[in-house]
Every structure is written in C-alpha cells, then in structure tokens.
Structure 1
C-alpha cells in the first residue's frame, strides 16, 4: 500500500515530513532571489550567508518540539537529511549556492498517491529534492507515484524585478512552488503569482489527469504562496485573510463555503532589516483533523476566533517564522491522511 495517500488539507493526519534548519543560509543575490524575495531592495544590499547561530539553533529545537508533539498525537514524523548549502550549483545559464530545507511544503506536493517535485521558482532551490531522495525512494517502493516536473531553465528573462508585484515571474516555462496549491479533494486551488505561473498550472493539470480540476486563481494574492491567505479548517469552513480575499476574487468553487475572517494578528517580530514574511504568517498553521489545528501560541486572538467556531487548537511556536519565511504549515508536508477522495463544491 502506498505510504503517500492524501486528498485534502484537513483529513486526520497519519504521516508528515518536518523540515530542518541544518545548513540554512540566505543564498547569493541572483536575479531570481532579487525578483521573488527582495524586489524592494538594491541587489547589493541583499544579505547572504548563514542565518545567525541563535536563530538556527532555536528554530531547530522548535522543529524537534513540533515533531515530538505530532508523534505524541500518533502521527508518523519523517525528517530530511542534511545538505551542504554552501555548495555552488551551476547550469549553462547561471550559478548559485543553496538556501535551506526548512520548508518542505514549498517544493513538494502530495495528491492522492502521487508525490510531485515542483519546478521551483528560485534558482537556489533547484536541487532541494536531494535532501529527500532516500525518503522519496521509500515512498516509491511502497507504491506511490513519484513525479518530478520538468526542470525550468530559469534564465534572466524569466524574472522582472522592477515589475509590479504579481508580474515578476514571467510565463515562459512551467514554474511554481508547491505552496501555491491547496487541495480540496478533486479540486485544487492554484495561486497564479510571483511564485507560480499559468504554464505551471497547465502542466499540473496534465500531470494529474481528468480526476482533478486545477483552478488557476489570478488576482487573489500576487506575492508568494497561498497558505497565509486561505486555510481550510474542515469541509465547508475556511479561514480567510481579509486583506487579500473578498467577494470579487473568491475562487468560484469555494463560494458555497462558510468563512472565518482572520482577526488582527500579533506581530511576532523579525531579525535584520527585511522580514521574509508579513504578520499574516500567523495564519500559517497545520490542520491535523477536521476542526483541529496546531497554531502558534502567540496568536491569542486567532486562537479565540478559531475556538469560537469549534476548532480545537494545540499550541506550539516558531519564534523566527517572519525572519525565515515559514510558519507551521510551511515547515511540514503531509504525506498520508485517512479519508477518501471526494468533491466539496
């Protein structure tokens, strides 16, 4: 039986991958990093090199705490192997060093019994799948379907750092981060943005076939990743970001769902001069069963609002989420949940 078996964002969780801070660093400031992560900065001022020791150490301890919490709830937890992110990666078109393996959600998508390595938009994440190779081989041997999207060239023409937000990634070849996608059974929401283009949605639809409908959503959130914009809580109920989601841009297939409006969030702070995430990273939490979620304990207003709608909250913390660009949902990849494929429109 395939160890990969997941159909949505809320069925009871059975197996998950939790990321690592081993070797994490900010990569060299190439055109992709400038356009996607630091468009508001002069390339010469983009920081690079290892994250401060205390950030890496505190975060790794919190990731281990998260892993142990999930294990205590009966979830099988897997961790990636370490890599040397200082190593230079060179193609005929560019060279860069590495980034991190902190956010497995960004690079990998599980749909049914299929595991997909996405064609990520940052050059520094070109070989991120290497950290998970042994694990993915195990999943393949268990009966999972393992696909890797075509590696994009990611030439300079792919990026427009001076363009408005949402127009900095051009539509020249399929490119998307897996964190642009949310699973609603047979329907997949695909965020068209600076971290995913329309050709990426077209490739994903072709790869998954007629069983699924990929819904490319433009005008929802132009920057990177979807998991601080909409969070499904259980069938028919989702948390939405009021600064981004409204009646005009709500995806059509979700219009019948009830919504919980996310309240103002606590600004948990960041190190340095440039946060990797906005305060909305507080919405970035992990649903482990219908109406049950692991949430940052500092988001007291959000926790009260979730509990008011019948959601059981289990508290944890990632102190440096804004600095690193990843919350509890980002640093995990759900691999197996109980439940069957269904349509929830």
Structure 2
C-alpha cells in the first residue's frame, strides 16, 4: 500500500516530513539568488551576506522544529527527516558552480499529489541537488507502491533571471521552473501561483503530468514574491484564509467562490536576525492542519488564532522564532505526505 496519499491540506494527517536546521547558510552569490531574493536590499550580488547563519538562529530553529515534531508524534503522526547535509560543499553543472543552502523547507522540494510524489524543478541553483537529502525517504515511498517522478532538471542559465525588470517577473519563462510551495492542493483543483519561484511553463508541465483528472488553476497578479502559502491557506472544505494585501475580492480563486473567507488579520512580528527579514510579516499565516479540527499556528499570531477558533477549529500554538530569518513557518518546514482521505471534487 502506497505510503503517499495526499489530496488536500486538511484530511487527518498520518505521515509528514519535517525539515532540519543544521548547517543552514546563505549560498554563494549568483544571478538567480540576487534577482529573486536579495536585489531589494543590495545593489550588487557581491553584497549578498553569504555564509552560515549564526549559532543562535540555527539553535532556535532546531529547538522549534523539535517541539513541532513532538506535537506531531503526540497526535500519532509518523515523522521523517531529511539527511543532515554539508551545504558549504561546492557543486556544479556544465553551466555554473554554486553551493547549498539548507534542508529547512521540504515544502519547496517535493510535491505529493494523490499517490505520486514529484521532485520539483526549483528556481534557485543552490537548491539544485537538495532532493538528494530525501532519497532514502523517497525510495521507501517508491517501494511501498507510490509513483515517484522528477520534473525535468532546468539548466538555470543566467538569462533565466532578470534583476528588477521594468515589466514581467524576475524569473523568465524559458523552461519549466517551480518550487513545490507554489502549489496548493484542494482535491481535484490544484492552485498554482505564478511568481518569482514558479513560471507559466512550470504550471503547464504540472497540468500535463497530472492529466485530465486535475484542474490546475493559475493565480496571476496576486503575489509575485515566492510561494502561495503566505497568501492562500486552506483550513478545511468551505473555509479558507486569504491575505488581504495580496488578493482582492474579484481575485478569489473560483474554487473558493462559495466558501467562508477569513481575511487574515494583522500579523504579529516574530522578529528576524539581520537588518532585514528574508520573509515578510505574512509568514505568520503559514500554518498547518493536523486534521480539519486542529491547526498548528505560530504562537505570536493571536488575532489569527482567535479567527480560526471562532470557526470551531482547535489551535495548537507553537514557537517559530526564526520564520522570517530562514523564510519558513510551519507549512514551509513540513510536507504532508499521507493524509487519511480520498480524492474529492470541492467545486462540483
């Protein structure tokens, strides 16, 4: 029986991969890292603060991940972790050389849909070989009967990236490129955010791979920064949290047209370790559902917690102190591989 079975964001959780903070670092400068992550704060890629994160950042992130894992295990969830990797080691393709970043955000790396798990063609060179940290886990899933595929590896040449373009996205549409966190599963409806971490060709490739059983909905012109999970978060069928700074009422995805919408309240700032954060304050709405009646939310987000609880959902508040430094809240640092449920059509 396949160990992979994930059709949405809320069915009762049975197995999850949670990231690790060890050896987290900022990669060496390159055109993509600058164009997609750092050009807002620096004039040239040589100013990128490459190197390891401070011991305090890594220690606090590790402690918060371990507390999250303990909660999951207490709810009967099987938890797997990626291999701890030495990210400072350089690697190359025939076209470029770089080094790594971290294994903190498995949400970006692998995408389970149904009983298929997809290694995604991520936007940053530094994350090109990040799936290797999950190989033993993926082999177990494959042996259990899951389908395991990898998207075509992108070349990520210099012209893939554009620094502060006058129009269009910094990520060019030259080949399929997307992070798994650009995707949100709502049964047969798959939301795909077109942004700096996912281009049009990436969404087209995903639709072709998934076939007619699924409908990939492109979200354009809402949030073009990176991932979907600080803009749209699904609680359960009929209830969704939307970011009021990024989505207008006339932009609500059609699958949610008859749903109850929580417009995310003001977020509490969890702080960050540098002069500027890697993630916006909206990292606070990056939560995970253990089941339709239990959410794990950053403990600093009291207004959001109250809004969720008003809808009859229990909340487990936990610390995630370095979410803005490392760009990863509870949804980012985990990937739900198996949930107890079947494929449903929620827009029928």
Structures share fold, TM-score greater than 0.5: yes
- Tell me the equivalent position of 2:163: 161
CA 1:165–1:290: 2 relative to 1, 3 Å:
farther
| C-alpha contact (below 8 Å) 1:120/1:126 kept by paired residues | yes
Q: For the residues of structure 1 that align with 2:139 and 2:298, how far apart are their CA atoms? A: 33
- Tell me the equivalent position of 1:50: 52
1:324 aligns with 2:326: yes
Larger CA deviation: 192-201 vs 209-218: 209-218
Q: For the residues of structure 1 that align with 2:319 and 2:165, how far apart are their CA atoms? A: 35
Q: For the residues of structure 1 that align with 2:135 and 2:23, how far apart are their CA atoms? A: 17
1:150 to 149, 152, 155: 152
- Tell me the equivalent position of 1:19: 19
| C-alpha contact (below 8 Å) 1:186/1:213 kept by paired residues | yes
- Tell me the equivalent position of 2:265: 263
SS at structure 2 position matched to 1:37: helix
Q: CA RMSD in A?
A: 1.1
| C-alpha contact (below 8 Å) 2:240/2:256 kept by paired residues | no
Q: Cα offset for 1:198?
A: 0.6
Deviations 1:134-175, CA, capped at 9 Å, x for gaps: 010000000000010000000000100121586100000000
Q: For the residues of structure 1 that align with 2:96 and 2:211, how far apart are their CA atoms? A: 33
CA 1:215–1:265: 2 relative to 1, 3 Å:
same
Larger CA deviation: 133-142 vs 268-277: 268-277
The 4+ residue runs of structure 1 with deviation greater than 2 A are none
| C-alpha contact (below 8 Å) 1:189/1:214 kept by paired residues | yes
Q: TM-score, normalised by structure 1?
A: 0.98
Q: Cα offset for 1:308?
A: 1.3
Larger CA deviation: 304-313 vs 221-230: 304-313
1:216 to 218, 223, 227: 218
Query: Within 5 Å, which residues of 2 pair with 1:94-173?
Result: 94-163=96-165, 167-173=169-175
Deviations 1:159-198, CA, capped at 9 Å, x for gaps: 0012158610000000000000000000100000111001
Q: For the residues of structure 1 that align with 2:112 and 2:241, how far apart are their CA atoms? A: 22
1:293 aligns with 2:278: no
Q: For the residues of structure 2 that align with 1:229 and 1:164, how far apart are their CA atoms? A: 24
2:67 to 40, 65, 68: 65
| C-alpha contact (below 8 Å) 1:166/1:193 kept by paired residues | no
- Tell me the equivalent position of 1:250: 252
| C-alpha contact (below 8 Å) 1:165/1:222 kept by paired residues | no
SS at structure 2 position matched to 1:4: coil
- Tell me the equivalent position of 1:281: 283
Q: Cα offset for 1:265?
A: 0.8
| C-alpha contact (below 8 Å) 1:167/1:193 kept by paired residues | yes
Q: Cα offset for 1:287?
A: 0.9
Q: For the residues of structure 1 that align with 2:168 and 2:195, how far apart are their CA atoms? A: 5
Query: Which sections of structure 2, spanning at least 5 residues, go unmatched?
Result: none
SS at structure 1 position matched to 2:8: coil
1:88 to 77, 87, 90: 90
